[in-house]
A and B are shown apart, each in its own frame.
Chain A
């Protein structure tokens, strides 16, 4: 039938993109970073009852340079905003952002001069987890959604398509190979 049968099912054929995306989503390391009460729920999510380690995410990195995911957990004040942006900028690509809680998403109950009315004005948010604060199950659901998004990330086929690598074709028109 397929090549798998021919080689006795010891080898799986897939695409590089799928393998890399699977590896990325299987070990998304969050940055150790919490701002307010949502951070307590995030800590609960990391602890043994909800156990974020099931998804390879137990390694909360103290350095943003080793982190892939920024869970913005809590009220972002104007005073804190430069630090939030700086931590995001220090994270290496690829990186993702979860906006956790109402305050982070829209300012929440704090319609005031001191609070940023939505972190999406400054950071590219991938997943929004509403709640005040969201329960750990909600955060885990948001993380599942992020995993789905990572698995569908066309970083090889679409994201860099505009770079136009030289391709070898049967007619030999595009590339130099014949």
Chain B
């Protein structure tokens, strides 16, 4: 497929996006990126999936741009199996803690991707059914892939004593308090 054809296809796709959703667009060496408004992320993604044919979420990760504000940039890689096309969608996570809408309703695989992103970057995904840590050990403190995280971790990590025997689970933990438990 020629470059012109690809650009025409991309123009058509961008035109179909909701008004005000597209904040930027970049094509570099045959790779196409869209910067979208975080408030309209889910509707953009739904359109890309249903109309653009991007049925596969290949990757979901974050970028720590310290000291820029907003600090975290979410990056989604979508793949179209039928037309063999890749598109990159970026959006900014605003607020404190940085929050972005969850896309688990569109791609089931986003569940673990978003848990990983939350674990390592501390980005919260609104609408995620089960947002808790996935990679780090129990009772972890902090988010290791943040640029201001010390290489050896905070003292809590190095002085950590693993629970010899798992304590009985508390009857009811308040939501979003899993860091203090265990």
B39 within 8 A of A: no
Closest B residue to A82 by beta carbon equals B162
A114 within 8 A of B: yes
Contact A79 B135 (CB under 8 A): yes
26 contacts between A and B (CB under 8 A): A77-B137, A78-B140, A78-B157, A78-B160, A79-B135, A79-B136, A81-B137, A81-B162, A82-B137, A82-B138, A82-B162, A82-B163, A85-B164, A89-B164, A111-B152, A112-B151, A112-B153, A113-B144, A113-B149, A113-B152, A113-B153, A113-B157, A114-B136, A114-B144, A114-B153, A117-B158
Q: How many residues of A contact B (CB 8 A)?
A: 13
Closest A residue to B141 by beta carbon equals A113
Q: Mark A100-140, 1 if CB is under 8 A from B, else 0.
A: 00000000000111100100001000000000000000000
How many chain B residues sit at the interface, stated as a range, is: 10 to 19
A78-B137, A81-B137 given; A113·B162 CB < 8 A: no
Give the interface of A toward B (CB within 8 A). 77-79, 81-82, 85, 89, 111-114, 117, 122
A82-B162, A85-B162 given; A113·B151 CB < 8 A: yes
Q: In the assembled complex, which residues on chain B have CB atoms less than 8 Å from the CB atom of A122?
A: 162
B150 within 8 A of A: yes
A117 to B160, CA, bound (A): 12
Distance in Å from the Cβ of A167 to the closest Cβ of chain B? 38
Distance in Å from the Cβ of A111 to the closest Cβ of chain B? 7
Q: In the assembled complex, which residues on chain A have CB atoms less than 8 Å from the CB atom of B163?
A: 82
A126 to B80, CA, bound (A): 56
Closest B residue to A77 by beta carbon equals B137
Closest B residue to A83 by beta carbon equals B162
Distance in Å from the Cβ of A83 to the closest Cβ of chain B? 9
Q: In the assembled complex, which residues on chain B have CB atoms less than 8 Å from the CB atom of A114?
A: 136, 144, 153
Contact A112 B152 (CB under 8 A): yes
Q: Which of B137, B152, B158 contacts A79 (CB 8 A)?
A: B137
